[in-house]
Every structure is written in structure tokens, then in C-alpha cells.
Structure 1
Amino acid sequence: MSIVYKCRHCGHEVGKLENQVIDTSLLGFEQLSVQEKREMIQYQDNGDVFVRTICENCEESLGRYPEYHELDFFIQ
């Protein structure tokens, strides 16, 4: 089972946790609302978990260009 963190904007893999058993309560998933979990976490059939996050470059771009927050995708 792996937990893969990918940027929701550019698709860059931010990080990956590989382990046989990972206690997701240690990752703070329970602090997310049901809607946030639905939007951010995808469970795969093989047991892997994909978490949509934001990388440093995209976060910096959003800081410089706040109007990008209105867009679903700002990287073409």
C-alpha cells in the first residue's frame, strides 16, 4: 500500500509513503470534512491512496496571481 501525494494543478508527485500498513489517522485525514475527503483522496483497487495537494511552485504562483484561484486548472 502506498500513499501518493500529487499536485492538483500540475500533477507533480509531491511525496510518496510506502509501507505495508499505514495508520491514516496519523496523517490527519480524519480532520477533513466529508466533502474535502471526496475532493482530495482517491482509493485505488490495489490499496494505494492518491491525495490531491498543492506543490510549492503552484502555491507560489497562486500567491503571486490570486485570480488563479477562480480557475479549476491554471497550468496548461
Structure 2
Amino acid sequence: MSIIYNCRHCGQEIAKLDQKMIDTTMLGLDQLSMKEKEEMIQYKDNGDVDVQTICEDCQETLGHHPHYHELDFFIQ
């Protein structure tokens, strides 16, 4: 089982945690609302968990161009 963090904007893999057992409360996933969980977390058939987050580069870009928050995708 792996938990894989990917940037929702550019698709870059940010991190991958390979563990036999992972306590999701230690990762803070229990702090998300149900809507946030539905939007950010996908469970794969092989047991992997994909978490959509944001990488440092995309976060910096959004900081410099706040109007990009209005767009679903700002990287072409």
C-alpha cells in the first residue's frame, strides 16, 4: 500500500509513502471534511491512495497570480 501525493495543477508527484500499514490520522487526513476527502482522495484497486494537493511551484505561482484561483487549470 502506498500513499501518493500529486499536485492537482501540474500533476507532479510530490511524495510517495510506502508502508504496509499507514495511520491516516498521523497524516492529518482525518481533519478533512467529507467534501474535501471526496475531492482530494482517491482509493485505487491495488490499495494505493492518491492524494491531490499542491506543489511548492504551483503554490508560488498562485501567490503571484491570485486570479488563477478562479481557473480549474492554470498550467497549459
Shift of residue 25, structure 1, vs aligned partner: 1.2
Query: Structure 2: which 5+ residue stretches go unaligned?
Result: none
- Misfit runs of 4+, over 3 Å: none
Where does residue 9 of structure 1 map in the other structure? Answer: 9
Task: Please identify, of 2-11 and 23-32, the stretch whose mean Cα deviation from structure 2 is larger.
Answer: 23-32
**Residue type of the partner of 1:47?**
G
| Length-normalised TM-score, structure 1 | 0.98
What percent identity do the matched residue pairs reach? 67
What is the total number of aligned residue pairs between the two structures?
A: 76
Query: Structure 1: which 5+ residue stretches go unaligned?
Result: none
Secondary structure class of the residue paired with 2:73: coil
Shift of residue 8, structure 1, vs aligned partner: 0.3
Would you tell me which structure has more helix in proportion to its own residues?
Answer: 1
Cα RMSD, aligned residues only: 0.5
